[in-house]
């Protein structure tokens, strides 16, 4: 059920992103619109995959739509949701070049999915790539520094 919920929320976010992108200049709107279509397709495919799995489990007689809750996973998912909301709020306040590395570094420091070197490389690469695409290439007016 959780995967369906995540997929549905991704679809809603993609539709919202496309609505916001409609007010962008034509060149700047292309990427978010295309990305929105990709996310919508992936979300629909994820929902279809879960439904097919449920069908297989039902035929095997082992279907549990609402299994026992894994509170650790729920806490991690909730924390990521709060982090994303804080990130969206913090860009106008802290600026992109401070908010983005923090948003990436916090979960990496807490969950430690990779070592410190790989985490630092990831933070720098993702921040740089987003900067190149949205600021340099698309020329979107994103505040780079606090108070900018």
**What is the per-residue pLDDT across 57-101, written as a single tens digit (0 to 9) for each?**
999 988 887 878 888 888 888 888 889 889 988 988 998 889 999
pLDDT at 56 over 80: yes
When pLDDT is cut at 50, 70 and 90, the band that residue 134 belongs to is confident
- Give me the pLDDT at residue 50, please: 93
* Position 148 confidence tier, pLDDT thresholds 50, 70, 90: low
Q: Tell me the three state secondary structure of residue 88.
A: helix
Alpha carbon distances (Å) from 39 to 63, 102, 124, 142, 148 = 28, 25, 25, 23, 31
Spatial distance between the Cα atoms of 47 and 41, rounded to a whole number of angstroms? 10
Half-sphere exposure of 108 (CA within 13 A, CB side): 17
Average confidence (pLDDT) over 13-23:
91
């Amino acid at each position: 059920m959780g995967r369906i919920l995540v997929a549905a929320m991704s679809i809603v976010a993609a539709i919202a992103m496309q609505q916001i992108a409609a007010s962008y200049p034509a060149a700047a709107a292309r990427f978010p619109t295309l990305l929105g279509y990709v996310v919508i397709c992936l979300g629909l495919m994820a929902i279809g995959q879960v439904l097919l799995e449920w069908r297989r489990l039902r035929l095997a007689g082992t279907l549990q739509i609402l299994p026992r809750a894994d509170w650790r996973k729920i806490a991690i998912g909730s924390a990521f949701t709060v982090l994303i909301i804080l990130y969206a709020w913090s860009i106008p306040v802290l600026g992109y070049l401070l908010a983005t590395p923090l948003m990436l570094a916090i979960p990496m420091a807490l969950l430690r999915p990779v070592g410190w070197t790989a985490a630092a490389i990831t933070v720098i690469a993702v921040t740089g790539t987003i900067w190149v695409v949205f600021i340099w290439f698309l020329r979107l007016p994103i505040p780079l520094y606090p108070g900018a």
